[in-house]
Amino acid sequence: RSWAILSLIFRDAAKAIPGNFESKSLKPDANNGSFQKIWDAICDEMASEHKLTVAESKRIKYGVHEGQDGQLHWSEPWLFHGTPIFARLLGRPQFLDTNWPQNPDAQWRLQALSRGLTLRMPRPFETQSMPGLTILIPHCGEVILQTWSNLCRAETDVHSGNREVQLLKWLIMRYPDEWDKLYERNEILQQTGVADPELLSDPKAQACVQHWASLRTQTLYRTVAGMCQYDKALRLLAQASGKSIKPEECFTCLVAMQRYAWMNDQNLDQVETMLAELPKSLAIAFIDYEDSPRSVLESLGVHPRQERRYFTCVMDSACPFEDARPKRRAPKFRVELPGFPILGNGKGDNQNCAVIFTRGEFIQAIDANQGGYLEQALLLPNLLAEFRNDAKLIVGTPEHIISDFGSIGDFAASSETVFGSLVQRTMSWLGARMHYGHPDVMNKIYMMHQGGISKATKTIHLSEDIFAGMDFVLRGGQIKHCEYFHVAKGRDLGFNSVLSFYSKLSAGTGEQVLTRQMSRLCRGLGLERVLGIYYNHAGFYFSQFLFAFAVKMLMFVFVILVLDTSDPGASFLNRRYPFRGKDLEAQWEKSTGPTLVSAWLSSLFGPLFLMFVAFSVAPLVIELWMQEGMLSTISRLLKQQLTFGPVYYIFQGKVISNYIINEIRFGGAKYIATGRELPTHRKPFVGPDLNGKSGLYEDFAAVSHHDGARLFFAAFFVNAFAGSYSGLRYFWICTGLVIFSWLWAPYVYNPYQFSGNYVMQDCRNWWNFMFKERSKPWREWFEASLQEGKGLRSNSTEILGWLLYVLPLYVLLNLKLHDFSLLSGDYDPCFACRPLSLSGARAVHISAVLALMPPFASLLVGPLLSFVGRIRRVDPSPGVCAATLSLVLCAELALSTCGFLRISAWASVANVLLYKIACVELAGQLAESWLRWKKRRPGVATGPVKLWLLGVRLLRDLLVSILILVPLLVVSGCIRMLPANPCVERQDGSLHNMFVFRAWGDYRRRTVTAMHSSEDTSSGISLPTRADLSRD
């Protein structure tokens, strides 16, 4: 009602920075020139990070001159003089505001500070009385610092023969202005006189480049250095108030580095670099072990099966080095643990083992792919003041996504912007926000009372952080979201890594809804909060499942109604309902199934649907407008549409729906290490790739490709028999996007997918995968997903789901046969009693008998081939079974439809085809359930059943993979026929590379560890197993 959003958009927030900062973050009696000194320190920090040039830094800093009275006076920079409203609304473009910094990161940081200072915030703590705070950063396998060998490594691709782009050169192409600023200010690099950084030989020059690269990739050093800005901010605030403090007395940056005791010398050197370059407030917690004789362990009461004693330790830069390992520091404190410390997925155990070494009243949870800014750290006393009136509180803040490179990076950044800003803001207002691990600030005492800041049980606590929020709310705590404070955040960049992250979230949500915490929340909270919790948590994931399921059911209903009224003489359907009047009968004659369905769908998928989509995007548009300006917002949205953003989000929804529903039905959620690798590595169609990982088809066949193929053929049948109807164009656009996304989205966003050499290699890999060594690669992949004898993974709902497809097709086929009997003048529906003949009018009767029967001949292929194999003492291969099965099924279909073909009843032929295929799929589900059943007894039936199942599944994968691979070959050939592009090194597939990377150039690298940090790897890579830890 106060129109605050218009005020945020139209006011000149940058002009008001001095007044807002002095009134909200400084004491009224602060020293003269306090803000000016702090502002100049902020500008100097940005310049040291190579975000500002020397000229830009001078323009936005305060100038000092001596007045006539002999005192120093400050001249206000241009930034605080005001900017025309037109330039502000457009985002201060260069042609309207030449003084505005050109670096996008610097622009966002200045806008975020100015916008945050306009929001409400509590009176800050004074620096000398500020409560203690510990930043807790879990770390396990992330890169600590970039090494020179990793930055300059470049290998030759075995398929294309092209030399891969080095990571250092990729960073220079990505941040050209910041690289120029590095050379401009670094005297060591200038003295070398070397233009090519690969030729640098001076160790000091290499160290400078390593430091620059580490701050631009998702490394632990970047995270810790950003969080240690709190130390500098506290010193600046203390100087402004005329006080002198030691920040390490009230601030600690604690890295939970659980693998420190197992690190090699290179990693230990990198840890020492962090301790030497960063403030004294940095400490490292780790897990140590001690081997002792069995007699000593028994005297200490250690469990007989435990081979080692484990300790949680802490050390800092003041600790001495060990004698046994000179590069490893001795712990400052050491606390023995009751046993093996890793009980869950790793991250929760890592945090809870280190929480006893935290200092102060509050903990801020930070992941190893985040970072901090000095100007935001200056608002830390205001953030902690949120606890002044209510200590039982969790305070969350927004995140600035820094990894928006390429199409997938931009999509992931937009999703994180929606969740980190829009969704959490709404959840906080509704009382439905929980703890999501980062960058929440919480009261340590309350967290220790409920067992730690995260849960650490495998499977059920896959999303370990949110349970701390659930327990906190159940104990009467409140969770708040503050918009004025920001931290940096790195997200996934590759297609597989992004979807792996969402699959982990989906599986974790499936476990959440089954926990006692969720049950107690639903029973103990009010209806409005329960609805908010559902909408913002499980409801989002369930809606993705309902969307995917509704698309399939909608198309299935369309198929049934189209097939029901598409044969000659379909008007005889009216004889089924003789009680209707003549008027209704005449109206029915004009309203066929396709016309009724088209009228219904046109009302659903019309302009109203497009308006719904537009209004769904409106909140994101306004948020980006406030953050980046209108020009940047429009440009970003257009880029997303041109790079098929809807296709990606549809596929993401399909992945989410698959994982959450399978988790609820089957269970067994597992941690998935997503990684943060750059999207420059091409995954093959089928694996293994150069890294030994599976291909795209293996990753997504069960998730989306099989359903996409079913939807594709269903749409083909509908168009074949229903034709084109007016009013359905929006429906077919939406359906086409779904089909295209479910079948081809992974390959559209696969770098170098359409390179000719790679495509031919895909074809060879596909042939080897399907047929090499009697289909051994395919069989190993399928059996890994089958999990034979591991327990009944399929339940009755899956079988009932396939019955939903089989029974309507059976009923429809039976009705069609009855109608054709009426057309022929024979009212006896018992076709089986008629003489069987393959010619003449009686051909319909034998077709009726064979059509209504399940495909028994196809079901007997497995036992017959198994019997023949026993006689010949040779096990039949799945390929032979698939070929035989296809021939038998075709023969059975020919016999079942010969009568319908004679009278050109094509819809009935399609009905028989769909019915037989549905029966085979239902039999396949039953066979999988039988083979997975743990309690079954191995017998004679197991071999034939498994052979038949392998043949059916191989035949299905052959059809689906050919459907996907053939269009890819066609597109690759068309792209190779395009004229060469002189702007790029490689000519084939350069248009597609621009589509993926949103930039011209050949950005390819086989393995990039720069972006290997993960909010979940941070801790998700667990310690070695007990057996590994027991070895010397």
DSSP 365-377: E--TTEE--HHHH
- Average pLDDT estimate for 1016-1032: 35
pLDDT class for 796, splitting at 50, 70, 90?
A: low
> CA-to-CA distance for 78 and 99, rounded, in angstroms?
8
Q: Is the per-residue pLDDT at 981 higher than 70?
A: no
SS3 358: coil
Strands, sheet with 399-401, edge to edge from the N-terminal-most edge strand: 370-371, 487-489, 399-401
The confidence score (pLDDT) of residue 679 equals 64
> CA-to-CA distance for 30 and 182, rounded, in angstroms?
36
**What H or E segment, with its residue span, contains residue 106?**
helix 104-117
CA angle 917–553–732, rounded 5-degree value:
100
**What H or E segment, with its residue span, contains residue 137?**
strand 133-139
The confidence score (pLDDT) of residue 1006 equals 37
How does pLDDT run across 510-526, given as a tens digit for each residue?
888 888 888 899 888 88
What is each CA distance from 355 to 218, 361, 447, 448, in whole angstroms? 24, 12, 10, 8
How does pLDDT run across 328-346, given as a tens digit for each residue?
999 999 998 888 888 777 7
**What H or E segment, with its residue span, contains residue 796?**
helix 796-823
pLDDT class for 599, splitting at 50, 70, 90?
A: confident
Q: Is the per-residue pLDDT at 159 higher than 70?
A: no
- Of residues 305 and 480, which shows the higher confidence score? 480
Q: Could you identify the residue written with the tokens 């080897």?
A: 768
Q: Which long-range CB contacts under 8 A does 629-638 form with residues at least 24 apart?
A: 629/88, 629/89, 629/90, 629/91, 629/92, 629/93, 630/89, 630/90, 630/91, 631/90, 631/91, 631/93, 632/91, 633/91, 636/410, 636/414
Q: Across the strands, what pairs with 363?
A: 134, 442
SS3 64: strand
Q: What residue ranges in 565-663 does DSSP mark as E strands?
A: none
Lowest average pLDDT, out of 263-272, 591-600, 609-618, goes to: 591-600
- Mean pLDDT (the chain) is 80
Contact of 11 with 22, CB cutoff 8 Å? no
Contacts of residue 4, Cβ cutoff 8 Å, sequence gap at least 6: none
- Which of 264-273, 614-623, 1011-1020 holds the top average pLDDT? 264-273
Token pair recorded at residue 565: 């009224």
pLDDT class for 835, splitting at 50, 70, 90?
A: very low
Lowest average pLDDT, out of 81-85, 262-266, 659-663, goes to: 81-85
- Of residues 670 and 44, which shows the higher confidence score? 44
SS (H, E, C) 268-291: HHHHHHHHHHCCCCEEEEEEEEEC
How does pLDDT run across 605-622, given as a tens digit for each residue?
767 777 777 787 888 888
- Average pLDDT estimate for 127-135: 90
The confidence score (pLDDT) of residue 1030 equals 34
Strands, sheet with 393-396, edge to edge from the N-terminal-most edge strand: 333-336, 309-316, 282-290, 251-257, 133-139, 362-365, 441-443, 393-396, 478-481
Q: What residue ranges in 724-822 does DSSP mark as E strands?
A: none
> CA-to-CA distance for 369 and 155, rounded, in angstroms?
27
- Average pLDDT estimate for 197-204: 81
Contact of 226 with 490, CB cutoff 8 Å? no
> CA-to-CA distance for 492 and 414, rounded, in angstroms?
12
Q: Could you identify the residue written with the tokens 């920040």?
A: 247
- Average pLDDT estimate for 33-46: 90
Q: Is the per-residue pLDDT at 1024 higher than 70?
A: no
Token pair recorded at residue 67: 């007045």
Please say whether the dihedral angle defined by the alpha carbons of residues 113, 114, 117 and 119, taken in this order, is positive or negative: negative
The confidence score (pLDDT) of residue 431 equals 83
Token pair recorded at residue 548: 């995917």
> CA-to-CA distance for 283 and 727, rounded, in angstroms?
66
The confidence score (pLDDT) of residue 824 equals 55
First to last CA, the chain: 68
How does pLDDT run across 371-395, given as a tens digit for each residue?
999 999 999 999 999 998 888 889 9
The confidence score (pLDDT) of residue 155 equals 52
The confidence score (pLDDT) of residue 869 equals 82
pLDDT class for 639, splitting at 50, 70, 90?
A: confident
Lowest average pLDDT, out of 35-44, 207-216, 641-650, 808-817, goes to: 808-817
Q: Is the per-residue pLDDT at 982 higher than 60?
A: no
Task: Sort residue 487 into left (φ over 0), alpha (ψ -120 to 50) or beta.
Answer: beta
Lowest average pLDDT, out of 76-85, 201-210, 962-971, 990-999, goes to: 990-999
Q: Is the per-residue pLDDT at 476 higher than 90?
A: no
pLDDT class for 980, splitting at 50, 70, 90?
A: low
Lowest average pLDDT, out of 137-141, 458-462, 693-697, 827-831, goes to: 827-831
- Which of 20-34, 245-259, 751-765 holds the top average pLDDT? 245-259
Q: Quick one: which of 401, 396, 392, 386 has its CA closest to 365? A: 396
Q: Is the per-residue pLDDT at 232 higher than 90?
A: yes
Prediction pTM value: 0.86
Question: Across the chain, which distance is largest between two alpha carbons, in Å?
Answer: 122
- Of residues 510 and 821, which shows the higher confidence score? 510
> CA-to-CA distance for 813 and 113, rounded, in angstroms?
68
> CA-to-CA distance for 582 and 568, rounded, in angstroms?
21
CA angle 252–257–261, rounded 5-degree value:
125
> CA-to-CA distance for 255 and 283, rounded, in angstroms?
6
Token pair recorded at residue 120: 């409400």
Lowest average pLDDT, out of 74-88, 113-127, 678-692, 850-864, goes to: 678-692
List phi, psi (to 5°) of 254.
-105, 115
Burial of 193 (C-beta count, 10 Å sphere; 0-12/13-18/19+): exposed
Contact of 324 with 350, CB cutoff 8 Å? no
Q: Across the strands, what pairs with 479?
A: 394
pLDDT class for 836, splitting at 50, 70, 90?
A: very low
Q: Could you identify the residue written with the tokens 């869950």?
A: 344
Q: Quick one: which of 253, 452, 273, 459 has its CA closest to 359? A: 253
Burial of 835 (C-beta count, 10 Å sphere; 0-12/13-18/19+): exposed
Q: Are strands 333-336 and 309-316 parallel, antiparallel or unpaired?
A: antiparallel
- Of residues 599 and 935, which shows the higher confidence score? 599
The confidence score (pLDDT) of residue 741 equals 94
Q: Is the per-residue pLDDT at 259 higher than 50?
A: yes
Percent of the chain's residues with pLDDT above 70: 82
pLDDT class for 870, splitting at 50, 70, 90?
A: confident
Residue 439 preceded by cis peptide, ω within 30: yes
Residue 688 preceded by cis peptide, ω within 30: yes
Amino acid of residue 705: H
> CA-to-CA distance for 824 and 725, rounded, in angstroms?
31
Contacts of residue 922, Cβ cutoff 8 Å, sequence gap at least 6: 799, 802, 803, 805, 806
Contact of 565 with 592, CB cutoff 8 Å? yes
- Which of 149-158, 331-340, 432-441 holds the top average pLDDT? 331-340
- Average pLDDT estimate for 171-177: 86
